[in-house]
Structure 1
Amino acid sequence: MPQITPNLWFDTQGKEAAEFYCAVFPNSEIKNVTYYNEAGPRAAGTVLTVEFELDGQAYTAINGGPEFTFSEAVSLLINCADQDEIDYYWAKLSEGGEEGPCGWLKDKYGLSWQVAPGGMAELLNDPDQERATRAMKAMLGMQKIDIAALQAAADQA
């Protein structure tokens, strides 16, 4: 099967965004940068695409112009191992951006992220419907996910 690479459309900040993401995520790097040439439509020498990897996952940033912007219809999910990871990614990615509900945020480039603990789906789909409902209600009242508060809500009798 061919590799699927998310392509993220920016106006002019593709390289800046790729450098930022590579600084936030461990084991990440910029692999290649291409530039517009005399054929245009932007000035020759302007960054066209940036190929980068975030911990082994390939992405491409394209500086395609202001015609398209990000929306919450597409987001990137970070399955965090613990609260420290949630706190780290939430702080780094929300800086200069916008915090949203239920573990969602927009970074300073407008890209939506979900910062959530691994195993959250199991908690929200718990066979004990009352436990699952308490967890869901707690999550819906949060911005950044608080694992201890989520667990406490689920376990409350």
Structure 2
Amino acid sequence: MSDDPKITPCLWFDTNAEEAAAFYISVFGAGAIVDVTRNGPDGPGPEGSVLAMTFEVAGQRFQAINGGPVFPFTEAISMSVACKDQAEVDHYWNALLDGGGKESQCGWLKDRFGLSWQIVPEALPRLLKQGDKAQSARVMQAMMQMVKLDVAKLEAAYHGQ
């Protein structure tokens, strides 16, 4: 059996797959470019530019292609980042917005490449699952009012404050 993963997400970029991979590696502080295939003299892109590549970020392998503007990202696919605390939420939120990202709601954002991310503190699923229905409902209601998730406010909602 190979050490290569059986399923690897493939991200379609216009022309900036290499820039995106470097950005994601810098945001998460762990990763590497694994392989790069460059265009030859017969294209489809400019000779020497990236056609396809494989990179890893925080232990997850991705493929990326520069396929042109035909298929932009939508919210139908997002990357979910599990954060241990508010400091991690703040770090990833701010880093992924850097350079032109856009905030959404309920802990979602789009980075400057248009890829959607969910920045989720570990407290959210825990608070939604434990306790009674009223506590879970208060947490859900609080989350629905947020842009970036706030652990202290989620916990306060859980406790009825």
Normalized against structure 1, the TM-score is what? 0.94
* C-alpha displacement of 1:127: 4.6
Partner of 1:88: 91
Aligned with 1:141 (options 128, 134, 145): 145
1: CA distance between counterparts of 2:115 and 2:30?
21
Q: Residue 33 of structure 2 aligns to a residue in which SS?
A: strand
1: CA distance between counterparts of 2:123 and 2:160?
19
Partner of 2:48: 45
Total equivalences in the alignment? 157
Partner of 2:36: 33
* C-alpha displacement of 1:126: 3.4
Partner of 2:132: 128
Q: Mean Cα displacement is larger for which, 24-33 or 100-109?
A: 24-33
* C-alpha displacement of 1:94: 1.3
Partner of 1:151: 155
* C-alpha displacement of 1:20: 0.4
- Unaligned 5+ residue runs, structure 1? none
2: CA distance between counterparts of 1:26 and 1:40?
33
Q: Residue 73 of structure 1 aligns to a residue in which SS?
A: coil
> Which AA in structure 1 matches 2:160?
Q
2: CA distance between counterparts of 1:87 and 1:30?
26
Note the 1:50-61 alignment, pairs <5 A. Answer: 50-61=53-64
1: CA distance between counterparts of 2:46 and 2:73?
24
Partner of 1:10: 13
- 1:12-54 Cα shifts (integer Å, max 9, x gaps): 0100000000001122111111111133222221211121101
Partner of 2:114: 110
- Unaligned 5+ residue runs, structure 2? none
Aligned with 2:102 (options 74, 83, 98): 98
Q: Residue 33 of structure 1 aligns to a residue in which SS?
A: strand
Normalized against structure 2, the TM-score is what? 0.92
Partner of 2:67: 64
Aligned-pair Cα RMSD in Å: 1.4
**Counterpart contact for 2:124–2:154, Cα < 8 Å:** no
